[in-house]
């Protein structure tokens, strides 16, 4: 019997699509939702399912930013043979994304037993939601928001890329929240911080989904729930990306900070009273 049925896959696909790129922690929300539906959050096949349906959200990013990605990748290929092209920002940015992905890959492989075990606890999720809220609030408040996307540097990409490790080790901290907060601390404006978060998430999340596919299929999740969850995630994530970019152009991150604290406190209450375990 599949650990996750098609109906549950639809719900989890919606949750993933809405929360993957919002700075509220998709992993945290998936674990909370799984717990409320009686799905074992530490089951290896469930962990794999959560990683695989992220590929749907990444596909939404690829489609939404298709022209930008084609421009960057084309510049990278041209730069491999043309020395003049290597001075262009797009060529350098492509290498920065590659370099900035290496730390999270190494940490992810080394710390996988902890990530799938004790660090996957809902207690860790609750604490990370609340602590991450404080980091985000401070970053948004102290950042000067004066630098645009064209002003990003290798240092920016590496620091923002390495910040993804926080979300990897502490589900609930939020990959988007960690990367956006780091970019804001580096004085990037909110739109530039958000777009950088998107681009840096593409290789990391795609790689995680492919890596976990074997566990999801081989340990109790059927192909149908995986396909449904991934498709739903794709559709919902596309709408979420479009909304987020318009929102951050006009608003601070305060609404996300408040929401995270509320969800974190509610989760602590559910865990303390035994409603979730």
pLDDT digits (tens, 9 = 90+) for 197-254: 999 988 888 887 777 766 666 556 778 888 999 999 999 999 999 999 999 999 999 9
- pTM for the whole thing? 0.87
Give the tokens for residue 204: 């990391």
51, 31 contact by CB (below 8 A): no
The DSSP symbol for 85 reads: G
4, 49 contact by CB (below 8 A): yes
Residue 154 counted as domain residue: yes
Residue 241 counted as domain residue: yes
Number of domains in the chain: 1
Structural domain span for residue 220: 6-272
Instruction: Say what angle helices 26-36 and 254-272 make with each other, to 10 degrees.
Output: 30
Residue 74 counted as domain residue: yes
- Distance (Å) of CA 177 to CA 23, 48, 88, 137, 215: 4, 22, 29, 10, 27
Residue 1 counted as domain residue: no
Report helix, strand or coil for 188.
Answer: strand
% of the chain residues with pLDDT over 70: 96
Report helix, strand or coil for 147.
Answer: strand
Residue 137's pLDDT band (cuts 50, 70, 90): very high
4, 43 contact by CB (below 8 A): no
Residue 86 counted as domain residue: yes
Region of 4 please: left (phi>0), alpha (psi -120 to 50) or beta. beta
How far is 261 from 273, CA to CA, in rounded Å?
Answer: 18
Residue 277 counted as domain residue: no
15, 27 contact by CB (below 8 A): no
Residues in the chain: 277
Residue 229 counted as domain residue: yes
Angle at 126 between CA 123 and CA 127, to 5 degrees: 85
pLDDT in tens, 150-174: 899 999 999 999 999 998 899 889 9
237, 61 contact by CB (below 8 A): yes
Residue 68 counted as domain residue: yes
């Amino acid at each position: 019997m599949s650990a996750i049925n098609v109906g549950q896959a639809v719900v989890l696909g919606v949750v993933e699509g809405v929360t993957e790129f919002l700075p509220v922690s998709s992993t945290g929300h998936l674990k909370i939702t799984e717990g409320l539906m009686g799905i074992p959050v530490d089951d290896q096949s469930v962990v794999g399912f959560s990683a695989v349906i992220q590929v749907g959200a990444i596909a939404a990013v690829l489609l939404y930013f298709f022209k930008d990605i084609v421009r960057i990748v084309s510049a990278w290929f041209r730069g491999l043979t043309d020395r003049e092209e290597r001075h262009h920002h797009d060529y350098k940015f492509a290498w920065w994304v590659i370099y900035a992905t290496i730390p999270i890959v190494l940490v992810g492989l080394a710390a996988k037993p902890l990530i799938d075990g004790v660090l996957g606890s809902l207690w860790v999720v609750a604490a990370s939601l609340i602590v991450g809220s404080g980091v985000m609030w401070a970053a948004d408040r102290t950042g000067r928001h004066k630098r645009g996307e064209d002003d990003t540097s290798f240092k920016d990409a590496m620091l923002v890329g390495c910040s993804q490790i926080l979300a990897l080790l502490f589900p609930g901290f939020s990959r988007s929240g960690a990367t956006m907060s780091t970019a804001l601390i580096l004085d990037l404006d909110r739109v530039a911080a958000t777009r950088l978060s998107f681009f840096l998430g593409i290789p990391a999340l795609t790689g995680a989904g492919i890596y976990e596919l074997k566990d999801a299929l081989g340990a109790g999740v059927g192909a149908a729930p995986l396909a449904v969850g991934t498709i739903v995630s794709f559709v919902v994530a596309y709408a979420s990306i479009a909304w987020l970019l318009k929102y951050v152009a006009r608003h601070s991150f305060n609404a996300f900070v408040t929401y995270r604290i509320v969800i974190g406190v509610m989760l602590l209450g559910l865990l303390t009273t035994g409603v979730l375990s």
